[in-house]
Each structure stands twice: as structure tokens, then as C-alpha cells.
Amino acid sequence: MRVLVASEADEASVNQRDALLRLTSWNANHPFHGGPAWTRGDTHLVTIREHHLYRDRLDRDLRDHFGTAPELVVYLSKHRSESRTPSLTVHPIGNPAGADFGGRAGILVPAAPRWMTAALRNLRREATGLAYAVTYEATHHGPFLETPTFYIEQGSTEKEWADRAASDAIARALIDLEPLEAPVAIGVGGGHYVPRHSDLALGKRIAFGHLLPAYVLPNLADDVLAQAIARTPGAKLAYIHRKSLTKPEARQWEERLTDLGLRVVREADLEPDPAAKTS
């Protein structure tokens, strides 16, 4: 069972939900905790009243309601940034350090690398002709779940949150989403939008789960790094954005990741993915 989650407290989230309902057929389901719900095949679309960032353990409530534990949870959301750049993004969730925006401090939520990377590629295809950047974001913010989860977002201002074309692109990216067949990695280094990891995922056979940007690395606890690996299902690889670190830092991170059982790869180690050209 896969679940798409809209929040009435987030206008872009509601717009994305409405686009999904408009662009394909759904069957009305019993309300979920008072909010409207629909079903299409093995995918459920639910609406929660509160802001999604602060609804911990939603996966437990979904299991109790539907009688089946979800294999994947996807949150529909707005994106906000100081740069105000029009963006469509996907990202894993959890807090490498503090919990300023929901979730639990120092706790990462299981990622969904093959699903999330497939969504990133679909977004690039569906946003063709739109003036939006399409990118990963680094792991950040709540809520807390124990099920593989990712966020899909449009932003970065009120103008983009209300943009029907952007909402439609997200809806099309999610309709009939299937996981990408590719080796799984965690990402280390880079900025909040992890551009190197985004570029690799869009062109090479690799699917990223947790993404730890350079700004969290100096104080990253050992257990959080271990979580990033354990909570990226299937992770065997790691990619370091070396230019975002000093050479000694990059060497230290390569040794640390290797000691934890990952193969640290460079771009030349990755196979081009012909399917990426049509994604």
C-alpha cells in the first residue's frame, strides 16, 4: 500500500491533491480521521487537518485505518526558500541535529531512494517548459515515521504555491510512479539542494536516499551517520561532493564511510542510464 498525504494547512499540498483528483480517476473512500480520502489501485490519497510537519506516527494511524501497513508515504507540500527560486523538489526526511520543524532531534526517517529518485526524474520530464528548477533537497525536518517516506514540493513563494501548472506536474509525476531500478547510495556534502547528487541521479544509474549536506557534517554524530545508512534501504554506495569539502575532510569522510561498509564512488564509476534521457 502506498499513501499520498495532503494537508489542509498547506495550500500547495491541497492544490497538488486537487490536481491528482482532476488528472486521473479515484474512488472515494471512508474519511481518514475526519478528512476526505480516495483510492486508486493500491494507492491511497488522504487529507489530514493539521500541518504535516507535526503529525508524527502517521504511518501507524494509516495501518490502523486501512488494515495494512504502508510501504511508502509521500507528503504533498509547499516549498519555501529565501532565494525565492521557483523550484520543484523531492527529499528524504529526518533531523540530523535539532528538531526545529517537527520530528525528533537526531532521528532520521527511513528513506525511499528508488521511489524518490523516480519521482525526481518524473518531475524533470513533467516540468518541461516550466520555469522551475527540479532538484533534490538534503535530509531535513519532520515528521517522525517508521515507514519509507519522502516529500515532494513546489515553491518557493505564494505565486508558485498557487501555480496550477506546477501542481499538475507534481500530480503527473506521482500518477503510476514506480521505483527506479538502480544501485542505492547515500549522499555526503554539497549545499542544501545537493546539486551534484541531483545531477547524478538525473543521468546515471544511481538512486539516492539520505543526503547529508556539508553544513551538517562538522557536528554529525556517529549514530546519525549510521542511521543514514541503515535507513536508506539497500544502500551499498556513497557519493561525496568533494568540492564542497577540503581535501583532508573528503579523505576523512571516505575512510569513515568505507569503514561502515559502503563503497565510495566517483562519477566515472557510475553507468550512464539511457532511461534517464526519456524521464
208-244 pLDDT, tens digit per residue, is 999 999 999 999 999 999 999 999 999 999 999 999 9
Q: What is the pLDDT of residue 276?
A: 73
Residue 277 predicted with pLDDT over 70: no
Q: What is the pLDDT of residue 198?
A: 98
**Position 180: which residue type?**
L
**Position 23: which residue type?**
L
Q: Mean pLDDT, to the nearest integer, of 182-195?
A: 97
| Distance between CA atoms of residues 259 and 254, nearest Å | 9
Q: What is the pLDDT of residue 275?
A: 77
Q: For 117-158, how does the pLDDT look when each residue is reduced to its tens digit (9 = 90+)?
A: 999 999 999 999 999 999 999 999 999 999 999 999 999 999
> Does residue 198 sit in helix, strand or coil?
helix
Looking at the structure, give the CATH architecture of the domain made up of residues 2-174. 3-Layer(aba) Sandwich (3.40)
Read off the C-alpha cell for 199.
545531477
Q: Mean pLDDT, to the nearest integer, of 178-201?
A: 97
Q: What is the pLDDT of residue 243?
A: 97
User: How many beta carbons lie within 10 A of that of residue 159, not counting itself?
Assistant: 11
- Listing DSSP states for 122-188 in one string gives HHHHHTTTSS-EEEE--S------SS-EEEEEEEESHHHHT-HHHHHHHHHHHTT-----S-EEEEE
**What's the mean per-residue pLDDT of the chain?**
96
Q: What is the pLDDT of residue 169?
A: 98
| Distance between CA atoms of residues 253 and 141, nearest Å | 24
Grade residue 81 by pLDDT with cuts at 50, 70 and 90. Answer: confident
Q: Who has greater pLDDT, 80 or 44?
A: 44
Q: pTM for this structure? A: 0.96
Q: What is the pLDDT of residue 278?
A: 56
> Does residue 13 sit in helix, strand or coil?
helix
| Distance between CA atoms of residues 88 and 85, nearest Å | 10
| Strand bridging mode 235-240 / 35-40 | unpaired
Please give the CATH number for the structural domain made up of 184-278. 3.40.50.10700
Stretch(es) of the chain classified as CATH 3.40.630.50: 2-174
Cis bond before residue 143 (omega within 30° of 0): yes
Q: What is the pLDDT of residue 279?
A: 58
- Cα-flanking dihedrals φ and ψ of residue 131, to 5°? -85, 60
Whose CA is closest to 210, among 166, 251, 260, 171?
260
Q: Which residue bears the cell 523531492? A: 90
Contact by Cβ (8 Å): 152, 91: no
Q: For 236-268, how does the pLDDT look when each residue is reduced to its tens digit (9 = 90+)?
A: 999 999 999 999 999 999 999 999 999 999 999
Stretch(es) of the chain classified as CATH 3.40.50.10700: 184-278
Q: Mean pLDDT, to the nearest integer, of 31-56?
A: 96
| Distance between CA atoms of residues 104 and 101, nearest Å | 9
Q: For 14-34, how does the pLDDT look when each residue is reduced to its tens digit (9 = 90+)?
A: 999 999 999 999 999 999 999
Residue 174 predicted with pLDDT over 60: yes
Residue 274 predicted with pLDDT over 90: no
